[in-house]
């Protein structure tokens, strides 16, 4: 039997290795703690410019690898670090899971997040939205008014399972496409990142738009309705990302990117409105009680029936799901496939599990199949630990709180650096190795703190799409590895951070028929 715990490969060097190994055991024990708020360690803070000079004088600083700068700060100042950007509130970076747990606990009743300013501004400029920006951006009562109503339809396993069959078909379409896009050696010949983006967009449209939009359709006519939907959704996502990670000049005047955001968001909004009208018309046609009892309502229909949610709330939520779900999930899929391709011994174990559970793979994947994929799920968790899509949850403190010997003040931002916690050797043994076994129930590599890896965050504001994303990725792993052996013929891939993490270079996977 292959012992994957011994032969695992190291996490590709994206600069983290040298920081973690040997000297990077950052803990409060190595840092002197004092009792006043002003003494939270961090780079020197100047009036107006805050701690910016520290960044400007750091020759290695790279905005797209901000995680490395934060790692440096933890190494220098300890696991709680205070920084201040010009014009922004004081931010406290937190590394230890126990501190993250305390902050999540403290903010659990009212989890306020930094609003996505450009989305709020774009919504405020469109009268349709009536100054309501949706759950991604709103906070406080307005956020909870909607979030408390969408929670069940989007997270309840029974409802998530109702999309499994269609998600399986979407994934099989991706596999068909892969089979056509390989060269004679099985290597993919196109930008595979884009294929994964189409796959995640197609999946989320199943839920948000209640239909297949045909992202993989090779005959999609330019200018046709599906083409317009796909183009608007992609422009929406890319403009959002550019506005949030770029210069933020849109705060002062409507930049070209901001106008793109407005335009694409308005197009996606119109599409969602049109889809909702069709759904309502279909529902009206379902007349008899027998028909009603046979009809299994989908998420949008459940939301329409939810007292306290208006039609506009439903449309706003439908629109929000598209950027919320697409890039995070496609990046996650890329990471999982990359880790599997680089760890053949893990692949063998997954394939063993898949052959046992799916047999010859000709039947549709069911919730019963997924429930048995214990090792596959551990692979997903380990991928999220080693290469999470986001740095970690953010909370704006609504009152003062004590964190160990420090006081964190009302209005400060707490940035829980879950991505870095998950690479800390105090939390995970062999943190740079891809070892899915560590997540198995008996925890063979030691216990894991519940806040040591938080890819979907935690508590009532955690990602509402967690179960949907999990189902998509499990299906992708299952179908891909059941059919192919994955190979990676190149060196380590770099990851950069631009609002979310992503691979910089092309994903040149090789898919070899099993």
Annotated binding site: 463
Nearest C-alpha neighbor of 462 from the set 392, 410, 398: 392
Looking from the CA of 396 toward its CB, the CA atoms found within 13 Å total 11
Q: How far is the CB of 143 from ligand HEM (least distance, A)?
A: 6
Q: How far is the CB of 376 from ligand HEM (least distance, A)?
A: 15
Please count the other Cβ atoms lying within 10 Å of the Cβ belonging to residue 31. 15
Map tokens 């894991």 to a residue: 448
Measured from the CB atom, the residue of 41 and 464 that comes closer to ligand HEM is: 464
Q: How far is CA 116 from the centre of its chain?
A: 15
> b vs e for 56-74, b when ≥16 Cβ sit within 10 Å of the residue's Cβ?
eeeeeeeeebbbbbbbbbb
Binding residue numbers for heme: 463
Measured from the CB atom, the residue of 24 and 468 that comes closer to ligand HEM is: 468
Measured from the CB atom, the residue of 331 and 487 that comes closer to ligand HEM is: 331
Nearest C-alpha neighbor of 117 from the set 258, 238, 232: 258
Measured from the CB atom, the residue of 4 and 457 that comes closer to ligand HEM is: 457
The residue number whose beta carbon is nearest to ligand HEM equals: 465
Looking from the CA of 286 toward its CB, the CA atoms found within 13 Å total 15
Residue 31 near residue 78, CB atoms below 8 Å = yes
The burial class, CB within 10 Å (0-12 / 13-18 / 19+), for 476 is buried
Q: What are phi and psi of 498, to 5 degrees?
A: -135, 85
Nearest C-alpha neighbor of 128 from the set 313, 274, 327, 364: 313
Tokens of 345: 């011994």
Please count the other Cβ atoms lying within 10 Å of the Cβ belonging to residue 295. 12
Measured from the CB atom, the residue of 139 and 347 that comes closer to ligand HEM is: 139
Q: How far is the CB of 324 from ligand HEM (least distance, A)?
A: 3
Measured from the CB atom, the residue of 276 and 419 that comes closer to ligand HEM is: 419
Query: What distance in Å separates the CA atoms of residue 189 and residue 178, rounded to the nearest whole number?
Result: 9
Tokens of 487: 């190979």
Q: How far is the CB of 325 from ligand HEM (least distance, A)?
A: 3
Q: How far is the CB of 315 from ligand HEM (least distance, A)?
A: 14
Q: How far is the CB of 254 from ligand HEM (least distance, A)?
A: 25
| Chain residues in the site for ligand HEM (CB under 6 A) | 113, 135-136, 147, 204, 320-321, 324-325, 328-329, 332, 389-390, 393, 455-457, 461-465, 468-469
Measured from the CB atom, the residue of 325 and 357 that comes closer to ligand HEM is: 325
Query: What distance in Å separates the CA atoms of residue 331 and residue 436, rounded to the nearest whole number?
Result: 19
Q: How far is the CB of 114 from ligand HEM (least distance, A)?
A: 9
């Amino acid at each position: 039997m292959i012992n994957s715990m011994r032969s695992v490969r190291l996490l590709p060097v994206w600069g983290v290795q040298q920081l973690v190994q040997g000297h990077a055991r950052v803990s409060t024990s190595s840092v002197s703690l004092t009792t006043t708020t002003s003494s939270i360690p961090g780079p020197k803070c100047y009036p107006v410019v805050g701690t910016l000079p520290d960044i400007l004088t750091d020759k290695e600083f790279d905005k797209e690898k901000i995680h490395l700068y934060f790692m440096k700060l933890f190494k220098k100042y300890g696991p709680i670090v205070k920084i201040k950007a010009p014009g922004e509130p004081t931010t406290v970076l937190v590394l230890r899971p126990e501190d993250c747990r305390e902050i999540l606990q403290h903010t659990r009743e009212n989890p306020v997040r930094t609003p996505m300013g450009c989305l709020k501004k774009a919504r405020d400029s469109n009268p349709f939205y009536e100054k309501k920006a949706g759950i991604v951006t709103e906070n406080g009562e307005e956020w909870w008014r909607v979030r408390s109503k969408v929670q069940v339809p989007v997270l309840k396993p029974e409802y998530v399972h109702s999309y499994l069959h269609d998600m399986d078909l979407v994934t099989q379409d991706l596999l068909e496409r892969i089979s056509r896009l390989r060269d004679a050696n099985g290597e993919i010949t196109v930008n595979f990142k884009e294929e994964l983006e189409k796959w995640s967009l197609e999946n989320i449209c199943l839920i948000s738009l209640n239909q297949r939009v045909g992202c993989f359709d090779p005959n999609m006519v330019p200018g046709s309705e599906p083409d317009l939907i796909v183009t608007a959704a992609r422009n929406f996502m890319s403009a959002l990302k550019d506005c949030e990670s770029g210069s933020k000049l849109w705060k002062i005047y409507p930049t070209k990117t901001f106008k793109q955001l407005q335009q694409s968001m308005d197009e996606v909004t119109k599409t969602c409105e049109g889809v909702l009208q069709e759904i309502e018309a279909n529902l009206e046609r379902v007349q008899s009680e027998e028909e009603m009892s046979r009809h299994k309502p989908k998420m949008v229909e459940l939301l329409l029936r939810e007292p306290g949610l208006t039609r506009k709330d439903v449309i706003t939520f439908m629109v929000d799901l598209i950027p919320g779900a697409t890039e995070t999930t496609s990046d996650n899929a890329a990471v999982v496939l990359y880790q599997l391709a680089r760890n053949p011994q893990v692949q063998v174990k997954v394939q063993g599990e898949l052959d046992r559970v799916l047999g010859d793979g000709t039947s549709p994947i069911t919730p019963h199949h997924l429930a048995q994929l214990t090792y596959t799920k551990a692979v997903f968790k380990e991928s999220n630990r080693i290469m999470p899509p986001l740095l970690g949850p953010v909370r704006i403190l609504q009152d003062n709180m004590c964190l160990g010997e420090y006081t964190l003040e009302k209005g400060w931002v707490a940035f829980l650096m879950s991505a870095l916690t998950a690479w800390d050797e105090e939390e995970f043994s062999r943190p740079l190795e891809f070892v899915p076994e560590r997540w198995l129930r008996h925890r063979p590599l030691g216990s894991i703190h519940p806040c040591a890896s938080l890819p979907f965050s935690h508590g009532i504001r955690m990602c509402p799409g967690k179960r949907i994303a999990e189902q998509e990725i499990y299906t992708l792993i299952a179908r891909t590895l059941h059919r192919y052996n994955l190979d990676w013929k190149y060196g380590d891939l770099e990851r950069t951070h631009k609002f979310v993490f992503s691979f910089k270079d092309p994903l040149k996977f090789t898919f070899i028929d099993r």
